[in-house]
A and B are shown apart, each in its own frame.
Chain A
């Protein structure tokens, strides 16, 4: 009989690299070793824990107090009839033999036996693998946990033997590969391996056989549907208690998602890093937790400089409240989109940025911080400002242009020009000086001033021939200097040699001559600013352009003034001439009237009357001329009163009938008075004018019609003749000054009558028009508003 010490010796003799007894003692798996008669030569503590009887060396394995054998249905059977007896007594070889073992009570246990056959001494080692219930509470729990972990693991935990046959398969494996345990147990692991990776399995087996593990091999496997899946494989050898490698355990993790996630993560990282925008994250206290290259580029700080610092280092003092507001929003889960603000760079510059801030959440959805994307919009803001400034400049230019071309009032135009150029050039003040020759020849006149009160210049002398001013007022060209006091032309004029006391402070200086078309220097626009280098080339160009326009305006204005003076002289002349003409006319008429009373001889009376008629016509012509010139000058005065136009028409027609006339006047004025508010004398003039035209232009007819009626709340007077009539073209021109129709050659007139009539009607808010057909006659009519 082999004793325990023999056994130990034997084991030692086998040269195992570890103390087998110690190893077995600590093993949680019950182990029993017996000789070929079934006598126990070794048992470990774990085995002793599961037996009902305290066992000793030499006890038999067939003692039912130690092990109760059961059949496959769980019924007790005699020990010598059990499969284990077959193995031990009949020396049948057995591997992975399943038997049942009963310890206290009737709990079934799985007993996996492994036979170690020594060449000289037959020893059988039994390794009992119990189902969890059989263990003591503590071991039970541990094993339960381990088993539960294996079962509940999302990883596939598989074991296989050295032939590659699958020997165990957990739920995780089922999930990943799709096979159930039942389907796959006993199958070759190769069914999980893509063809192109079969060689990998050989390598794995080789590694395993050499006792090494394979850690985290990322590879691909096939699932039940034949789809390839990415997995991370950890393979470890499974050794028996003697250290022989009997198989391998495989832990396979599905990393498809992780790979996807990794890829995404990598891509996102790359995007974040390569972004031109600053992408920064911070926690809820505002502490910076990440910082990309864009942030470095925009703000100047490196990642190392800012990590762990407060985000407030980027925020201008006066905007610190913004951060509170942002954090408040973030804490309540709100995003902030494209918030335009100002941030500070490392070197203290303020830059315009557009901020988008989003809450950062952990996996559970709790807000733990914020990501900030800051875009440098400095260029945008600058170009926006530039555009705004251009728009403003254009607006000013446009308004100046309009004023220059539309206004003729010199002072007004110059003030506009001075204001606009001062604004556009950014000058502190600007002035237009007018070139005037005073007795001394040493002066220019301040015409308009912008940006400073006129008194700022009034008391100062304005010498024109100093080195500084002379080039401008002689039209030599633009002077633009960054600091006039450093200019060599400055300070050459006695007695002050520089700016007199009380002069506005000037450092930047720009002077642009204003030269008329004829080449005459009208004056100069002068601009000043207390700071240095304010006026740039484009300011100069702009002012020069406006100065050129202003020169045109000044020319126009002067021309206009001259024309106006001429026109006034003409009006004065006409007024004087008409007066002078009327005095002899009065005498002529008077004497003719005296003669008319004294002469009774018919033929002489006829001649006398004709002469009187012509004297009266002459008078009318003089009146027309005078009236026209007054209307042109806007000096024709009207004396408005309420009167009955019907009565006036009756008077006029009576006078018409009274005078010798070959035309019969046919009237229809209605029965009721028609009150209008007008200048009675002028209206009478209008009616007479239309009547005399009707007679004059219908030499072959014998009737003229004069009507009054109410038309749409207005008094309408119509004068109709059966005369020459007017063409469409003539009708359009008939109310213009000095117009006389071609067909009226041989009929006297200046062409002023209808023009004056129209002007009088316009002044009365009335309307004058004509309907006419050539060869049939004309119908002139006017309407006037009724008296209120």
Chain B
């Protein structure tokens, strides 16, 4: 079972995605802020990270950049999400994909499947 780390501060959306992905038989670990995610990732090896950009204590783009510099965790695919209309904000992040909110749930599945099957 593939593990997905989900970082999303809005709890209803976090619940929705958690529900969707668990339904598709992914192992989902959800985080409400950057801090808890950063603590967890130190010892964790998810197969994919799905992360909101605007977090209460951090920025998904910056988190992603930092992660890509890490020798062991740099290869983990990261999908960034945002309600920001301009996807170019994620350009330099090193993320493999950007999903604009609101998204179609099918689009989300499709993208995730691309990277971890």
Contact = CB atoms under 8 A, between A and B. Distances in A.
A626 B84 CA distance: 9
A607 interface: no
Contacts of A588: 102
A535 B85 CA distance: 61
Interface stretch (B12-20, B25-33, B40-48, B64-72): B12-20
Given A579-B83, A579-B84, A586-B83, A593 B101 contact: no
B55 to A, nearest CB: 12
Nearest to A681: B87
Contacts of A639: 88
Given A583-B101, A639-B88, A590 B20 contact: yes
B92 interface: no
A594 B105 contact: yes
Which of B17, B102, B106 is the most central at the interface, judged by chain A CB atoms within 10 Å of its CB? B102
Interface string B54-83: 100000000000000000000000000001
A587 B17 CA distance: 9
Interface string A555-581: 000000000000000000000001101
A74 B88 CA distance: 147
A412 to B, nearest CB: 33
A257 interface: no
A411 B106 CA distance: 56
B12 A578 contact: no
Interface string B80-113: 0001111010000000000001111110000000
Interface string A615-642: 1000100010011000000000101000
Contacts of B88: 637, 639
B10 interface: yes
Given A579-B54, A591-B16, A594-B20, A586 B103 contact: yes
Contacts of B104: 589, 593
Nearest to A619: B102
B86 A590 contact: no
B98 to A, nearest CB: 13
Nearest to A626: B85
A585 B16 CA distance: 12
Given A593-B106, A637-B88, A582 B101 contact: yes
B85 A586 contact: no
Contacts of A441: none
A586 B8 CA distance: 12
A761 B104 CA distance: 29
A585 B12 CA distance: 11
A560 to B, nearest CB: 28
Contacts of A626: 85
B93 to A, nearest CB: 16
Contact of B16 (A590, A615, A623, A637): A590
Contacts of A591: 16
A584 interface: yes
Nearest to A615: B102
Contact of B85 (A583, A584, A627): A627
Interface in A104-133: none
Nearest to A588: B102
B13 A583 contact: yes
A587 B105 contact: no
Contacts of A584: 10, 12-13
B84 to A, nearest CB: 7
Contacts of A623: 85
Given A585-B102, A586-B102, 17 more contacts: A578-B83, A579-B54, A582-B83, A583-B83, A583-B101, A586-B13, A586-B103, A589-B104, A590-B17, A591-B16, A593-B105, A593-B106, A594-B20, A615-B102, A626-B85, A637-B86, A637-B88
6 closest residue pairs by CB, A with B = A582-B83, A586-B102, A586-B101, A589-B102, A590-B16, A593-B105
21 contacts: A578-B83, A579-B54, A579-B83, A579-B84, A582-B102, A583-B101, A584-B10, A584-B12, A585-B101, A585-B102, A586-B13, A586-B83, A586-B102, A589-B103, A590-B16, A590-B102, A593-B104, A593-B106, A594-B16, A623-B85, A626-B85
